[in-house]
Amino acid sequence: MDDIDRKILNLIQREFPICAEPFRAIGGKLGLGEEEVLERIRRLKADGVIRRIGAVFDPKKLGFVSTLCAARVPEERIRDFVDVVNNYTGVTHNYRRNHDYNIWFTFIADGPEALERALEEIKAKTGVSDIISMPAKRTFKINATFEL
């Protein structure tokens, strides 16, 4: 990774252009051509430096509700449980923890009824009924950008 890669990464973390040709706009700010920006981003993605490029929205401001769920899943059923949970488009994170409640996931839905319905479906499909839903009372956000 060279200084130009670092400049691209710093820029796309903070002010990704919302326009028809964002990579051309990035190139314009850095004195590069659109194709060079795209080639560098493709390489950084292939190298695992960039995992994904996407927007971060505030679900609450868009009318959605969210919750953090903790499930107590028997060891032999973890794979099936995770597969079922991950099939829901509202699941944004799903991870294993070293705890009695060993599978944790976050879920976003377009309303409390939809959220509750999805959690009940998950319980029915997996046979795992010990799922705790913990909606946030307050939201704390940190700036997760990294100066390179």
In this prediction, residues 25-36 reach a mean pLDDT of 97
- Provide the token pair at 107: 């879920």
Does residue 30 sit in the same domain as residue 72? no
Which CATH number fits the domain that encloses residue 101? 3.30.70.3460
Report, as an integer, the average pLDDT of 8-30: 94
For residue 107, being part of any structural domain is answered with: yes
Predicted model pTM: 0.66
pLDDT tens per residue, range 2-18: 999 999 999 998 889 99
Q: Are residues 39 and 73 in the same domain?
A: no
Integer Cα distance of 38 and 47 in angstroms = 14
Mean pLDDT of 83-96: 94
Number of domains into which the chain is organized: 2
What is the band of 52 on the pLDDT scale with cuts at 50, 70, 90? confident
Task: For residue 39, give the CATH number of its domain.
Answer: 1.10.10.2890
Average pLDDT, stretch 11-32? 94
Are 73 and 120 found together in one domain? yes
- Select the more confidently predicted residue: 104 or 138: 104
CA nearest to 136, candidates 76, 57, 69, 55 = 69
Helix axis angle, 3-14 to 22-30, nearest 10°: 130
Mean pLDDT over residues 41-54, rounded?
Answer: 92
The whole-angstrom separation of Cα 53 and Cα 33 is 19
80 shares its domain with 102: yes
**Does residue 85 share a domain with residue 128?**
yes
**Do both 64 and 17 map to the same domain?**
no
Does the pLDDT value for residue 42 go beyond 90? yes
For residue 139, being part of any structural domain is answered with: no
16-25, 84-93, 124-133, 135-144 — which is least confidently predicted?
A: 135-144
Establish if 40 belongs to a structural domain.
yes
In this structure, are 82 and 123 located in the same domain?
yes
Residue 117 belongs to what domain range?
A: 59-134
pLDDT at 143: 64
CA distance 56 to 11: 16
Q: 37 and 104 in one domain?
A: no
Task: Give the pLDDT band of residue 19 (cuts 50, 70, 90).
Answer: very high
Asked if 98 and 125 sit in the same domain, the reply is yes
- Return the ∠ at Cα 56 (arms to 64 and 86), rounded to 5°: 65
